[in-house]
């Protein structure tokens, strides 16, 4: 195969990217994105602040722009994200307690209702666990509504769109030995044991010198999969862009049948949220394929 999407499809997987609606007029960007990728995540356009800027008033203009571009070009869409401490609109940041809990439920219903039947997988809850050695939850306004907020979000999501896979998504849960990874693993195990609806775990996989790729990544993927959920690599970028590390990530996913796809978090280095100078993606700023691109294509 000669593109990432086609190469991933050889094993029944997908290869995706984050798409920014503001770049859909850049033909150099859309040419690469359309040619190489078969799954799309809106980089910001389906987040809480974008979709519900005022309480109860939903706006899907930018989200639909990304969604329509993807579907018109034959791609599937991952939904990102419904319940998160970050990129909350001001009105939500100001809420607490039962009114925030109800606002979260209403938000999930509003956004999932709009996209009902159209989304491959939703990141229902994003980044709910703390960094460091606690292995526990991150403090946030959502967490302070009660420890059950995550399962309430998942139960709400299942009812809102039974066709979508429901994912828990986070960063720094790649290294199997880290407390944060174990915390999320224990939550997923508990959810499966108690029948809380969860279908997938998203490993964001933002790798840098502080949270580097580790060879136990495959163990992490295998361990989550063994709980009975799919694993998706959802926001892959590798600072410095090591071709070897990219190949390792692909090989680790391919080693686990329930690792169903990989998405990178942007098209060209110049599109990266980390800044072009971190060179974390598969295409350089001129749209040329990097060594990391060839390593990924060959590994798929």
| Active-site residue set | 235
Single residue of 219, 273, 284, 285 touching ligand XIL by CB under 6 A: 273
Shortest approach of ligand XIL to residue 292 CB, angstroms? 19
Single residue of 145, 156, 172, 204 touching ligand XIL by CB under 6 A: 204
Of 36 and 127, nearer to ligand XIL (C-beta) is: 127
**21 makes contact with ligand XIL (CB under 6 A):** no
Shortest approach of ligand XIL to residue 79 CB, angstroms? 12
**208 makes contact with ligand XIL (CB under 6 A):** no
Q: Using CA atoms, how far apart are residues 136 and 186, in angstroms rounded to an integer?
A: 10
CB 292, CB 242: distance < 8 Å = yes
* Dihedral (CA of 28, 73, 207, 127) sign: positive
Q: Using CA atoms, how far apart are residues 120 and 132, in angstroms rounded to an integer?
A: 32
CB 101, CB 146: distance < 8 Å = yes
Q: Count residues binding ligand XIL (CB under 6 A).
A: 6
Of 169 and 242, nearer to ligand XIL (C-beta) is: 169
Nearest to 233 by CA among 8, 6, 15: 15
For residue 289, the number of C-alpha atoms closer than 13 Å in the C-beta half-sphere is 14
**38 makes contact with ligand XIL (CB under 6 A):** no
Single residue of 161, 235, 237, 271 touching ligand XIL by CB under 6 A: 235
**51 makes contact with ligand XIL (CB under 6 A):** no
**43 makes contact with ligand XIL (CB under 6 A):** yes
76-83 and 121-126 strand pairing: parallel
**181 makes contact with ligand XIL (CB under 6 A):** no
Shortest approach of ligand XIL to residue 204 CB, angstroms? 6
In degrees and rounded to multiples of 5, residue 225 shows phi and psi of -60, -35
CB 183, CB 217: distance < 8 Å = no
Residues in the chain: 300
Q: Using CA atoms, how far apart are residues 271 and 113, in angstroms rounded to an integer?
A: 30
Of 44 and 214, nearer to ligand XIL (C-beta) is: 44
Single residue of 3, 30, 44, 182 touching ligand XIL by CB under 6 A: 44
Single residue of 34, 51, 88, 126 touching ligand XIL by CB under 6 A: 126
Q: Output the CA angle 69-73-76, nearest 5 degrees.
A: 80
Of 44 and 143, nearer to ligand XIL (C-beta) is: 44
Footprint on this chain of ligand XIL (rule: CB under 6 A): 43-44, 126, 204, 235, 273
């Amino acid at each position: 195969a000669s593109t990432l999407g086609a190469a991933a499809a050889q094993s029944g997987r997908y290869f995706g990217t984050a798409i920014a609606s503001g770049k859909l007029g850049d033909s150099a960007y859309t040419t690469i994105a359309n040619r190489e990728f078969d799954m799309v995540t809106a980089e910001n356009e389906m987040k809480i602040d974008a979709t519900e800027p005022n309480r109860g008033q939903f706006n899907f203009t930018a989200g639909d722009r990304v969604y329509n571009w993807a579907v018109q070009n034959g791609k599937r869409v991952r939904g990102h994200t419904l319940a998160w401490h970050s990129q909350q609109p001001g009105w939500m940041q100001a809420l607490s307690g039962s009114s925030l809990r109800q606002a979260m439920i209403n938000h999930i219903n509003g956004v999932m209702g709009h996209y009902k039947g159209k989304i491959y997988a939703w990141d229902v809850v994003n980044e709910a666990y703390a960094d460091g050695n606690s292995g526990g939850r991150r403090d946030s306004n959502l967490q302070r509504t009660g420890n059950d907020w995550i399962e309430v979000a998942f139960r709400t999501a299942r009812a809102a769109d039974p066709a979508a896979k429901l994912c828990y998504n986070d960063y720094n849960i790649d290294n199997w030995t880290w407390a944060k990874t174990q915390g999320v693993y224990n939550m997923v195990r508990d959810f499966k044991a108690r029948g809380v609806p969860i279908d997938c775990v998203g490993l964001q996989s933002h790798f840098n010198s502080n949270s580097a790729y580790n060879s136990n990544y495959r163990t992490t993927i295998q361990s989550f999969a063994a709980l009975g959920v799919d694993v998706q690599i959802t926001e892959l970028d590798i600072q410095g862009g090591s071709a070897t590390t990219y190949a390792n990530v692909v090989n680790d996913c391919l080693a686990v049948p329930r690792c169903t796809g990989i998405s990178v978090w942007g098209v060209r280095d110049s599109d990266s949220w980390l800044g072009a100078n971190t060179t974390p993606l598969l295409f350089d700023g001129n749209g040329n394929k990097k060594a990391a691109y060839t390593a990924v294509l060959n590994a798929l």
